Amino acid sequence: MWPNFSKDPFNFLLVLICFLGGTVFSIAQQGDIGGERASIRNQIGLRHDNDFILLTDRYYTAGLFLTYRHRLEKGLFNSENEQLTFSLGQEIITPSYLITEDVQLLDRAYVGFSALRSGWSRVGRNSLIEANFLLGLAGRASGAGSLQRWYHHSVMKTETPTWVGEMENSVHYNLYTRYLYEWQLVPNPFSIHIATQSQFAFGTRDIYVYPELVAYFGRRNPLSGSIAHNQIGSTDSEIFFALRGGYRLVGHNGLLEGNALGDDSVLLVASKTTVVYAGFDFQWRYGRNDYWVGVRYNAPEFEGARSHQYVILSYTRGF
């Protein structure tokens, strides 16, 4: 009998790590993993998050993001290692029980979120600093509820989520900052890098502090040109996997508790003040093409919730 990955995501993660880890080691040892060598300054990519692959359909159930990155010739600090990022995305968040018209049976509110995010980053020899500003719209006006209802009805041919008690329309703005420092412990062809990063968010959607530790295994480019940190200057090939874990101290979660400046939604739920996160990534840069498959896990975000996991699929193209 196959293991039930929806109840035990660690079985799935272990199988994935063993399979991809062996693949990375084998290819990296060959020394030449193909791909053209050039310098690029622009990149466009599409990312899709979904928990259905892991046989669940609750909480953060789907996300779609279109992203453009541009590497500056001379940045704010007269540096060649600075980038601008612009991203348009939509997120769908649902309760665990989808087929009911009774709001009292829901463990959290339905909420869709559409947003434009703009960002700047600068890379040093072993460090990265990044700042992002988000302007978004939560509620029915985001269009996420209509999209999910159409998808379940027309594509999946299953019962359609009711979206009863959906959060009220609300405009959100948020600042996100990140500082990362990285050490290389073992050189290529099968390198080992360890990175620590601290993230801080403040605004109407998110308020939190989030320290995280990440370990990378495989053929990696330097920090300033690696897909590991969304840097686009190099097309030198790299292939590696990563393990990550973090501990988020939450001050406010607007997709559970509503807009931090006030919200009249019928169902608002208090967030837990601490949430554990973990993840696995497999990333491959081949010439101008970047591929990314990831798994994310988080502990329960509110009282009575269950843990959750979802898959990330992403492709980007440099030009």
Whether residue 189 is preceded by a cis peptide bond, meaning omega within 30 degrees of 0, is yes
d(CA 80, CA 72): 6
Burial grade of 101 (CB within 10 A; 0-12, 13-18, 19 or more): exposed
Whether 134 contacts 116, CB under 8 Å: yes
And the tokens for 188?
A: 């290529």
Buried-state track 192-202, b at ≥16 Cβ within 10 A, e below 16: ebebebebbbb
Side-chain-side CA neighbours of 34 within 13 Å: the count stands at: 7
- For residue 2, being part of any structural domain is answered with no
Q: Which domain holds residue 286?
A: 9-318
For 156, residues 6+ apart whose C-beta sits below 8 A from its C-beta are none
- On whether residue 1 sits in a domain, the answer given is no
CB count in 10 Å sphere of residue 262: 8
**Residue 308 falls inside a structural domain:** yes
Res 14: pLDDT: 54
- Whether 149 is covered by a domain: the verdict is yes
Of 122, 49, 114, 50, the closest CA to residue 85 belongs to 122
Residue 228 maps to a domain: yes
Predicted pLDDT at 310: 97
In a domain, 101, yes or no: yes
**Under 8 Å CB-to-CB from 162, ≥6 apart: which residues?**
98, 99, 100, 101
Per-residue pLDDT of the chain (319 residues; tens, 9 = 90+): 334 444 454 455 555 555 555 455 444 444 444 445 567 999 999 999 999 888 888 999 999 999 999 999 888 887 779 999 999 999 999 999 998 999 999 999 999 999 999 999 999 999 999 999 999 999 999 999 999 999 888 888 888 899 999 999 999 999 999 999 999 999 999 999 999 999 999 999 999 999 999 999 999 999 999 999 999 988 999 999 999 999 999 999 999 999 999 999 999 999 999 999 999 999 999 999 999 999 999 999 999 999 999 999 999 999 9
Number of domains the chain contains? 1
Which CATH number is 144's domain given? 2.40.128.140
* Domain presence at residue 4: no
Alpha carbon separation from 197 to 92, 178, 210, 214 (Å, rounded): 27, 7, 8, 8
Q: Flag whether 94 is in a domain.
A: yes
